[in-house]
Amino acid sequence: RTELGRPERVILAGHLDTVPLPITEGARGTVPSTWESGVPGEGVLYGRGATDMKGGVAVQLALAATMFDGGAAPERDVTFVFYDHEEVEAVKSGLGRLVRNHGDLLDGDFAILLEPTHGTVEGGCNGTSRFEATTVGEAAHSARAWMGSNAIHAAAPILARLAAYEPQTVNVDGLDYRESLNAVKIHGGTAGNVIPDRCVVEINYRFAPDKSPDQAEAHVRALLEGFDVVRTDAAAGARPGLNHPAAASFVAAVGAEPKPKYGWTDVARFSELGIPAVNFGPGDPLLAHKDNEHVDADAVRECLRVLRSWLS
């Protein structure tokens, strides 16, 4: 955290955790990471978290280490934030913990999340909610199935409604946010010769930032009317916020048309604090969490160049 007495403070934030390692044999997006060229710092780096978001964290660290080189000093004060538990339930977030326990450290006028965006500005983010839809049956020996009631079969209409659902595209402050609603996990059954008496379908809804978590919940409940639905986690989205002077200045410095962020990111937490925030970082967001996750070293250097130029 710099204390230069500048009239504006910018927060550069990034999470340190990753999703679990891939289980596919031969996957390159694992650990230890590997340079395709065989030369560290040249070409493409493969490894879990390379895109999401070790490339962005590398930009933060490089900027912190070099921003005063040659007697230079940024025109804006800068706060660097590194935190854990972004890739799990919102209640476990390290950034949320920082807000609760040391919120004063996050005072600022503008925040940049160095999530992978292919080096373009992505404004706001979709919200996310998780639900469990449960069906209950009656256990029986599978040789006498008529003596029981199959809870997995009873869940079929839930899956059918989700499969038939047509997600919306919602324009919010000039950016088009695509929503998605999907079954992401299913649990049911105890043994190969037992009719299951319980089945749980886990559902994830990514909703546009014009909706609150409660409105998103109402939408899911309406779709799955007649079923037992429980919301297990929710995080609000964030509107683009690109009309703020600092955001507009940064978009101009990047020089590319801003896009919406479909995934949830911690721009939403900064938005709740009244701090406008955008996503900007190296790496292809479509590679995040994939078995071949990788980032190009030149993309990391370009993001570093853009940020250094804008700050100075």
Cβ 116 vs Cβ 52: under 8 Å: yes
- Measured distance CA(86)–CA(289) in Å, rounded: 13
Distance CA 80, CA 14 (A): 8
Query: Does residue 91 carry a pLDDT above 90?
Result: no
- What residue ranges define each of the domains in the chain, with the CATH number in brackets? 9-125+238-311 (3.40.630.10), 127-235 (3.30.70.360)
Q: What's the pTM?
A: 0.84
pLDDT recorded at residue 53 = 95
Active-site pick, 86, 179, 284, 293: 86
Q: Which of 17, 87, 132, 272 is catalytic?
A: 17
β-pairing, 44-46 vs 294-296, is antiparallel
d(CA 196, CA 148): 9
Residues with Cβ within 8 Å of 86's Cβ and at least 6 positions away in sequence, in order, are 15, 17, 93, 94, 95, 266
pLDDT single digits (tens) 108-123? 999 999 999 999 999 9
Which strand (E) or helix (H) includes residue 269? Answer: helix 267-272
d(CA 37, CA 4): 41
Start-to-end CA distance of the chain, whole Å, equals: 16
- Our answer to whether residue 17 is catalytic in this structure is yes
Q: Look up residue 42 and give its amino acid.
A: E
Q: Are 237 and 214 in contact (CB under 8 A)?
A: no
Lowest-confidence region among 71-75, 78-82, 283-287 = 71-75
Q: What pLDDT sits at residue 72? A: 84
Looking up tokens 């040391």, which residue turns up? 102
pLDDT tens string 241-258:
898 899 999 999 999 999
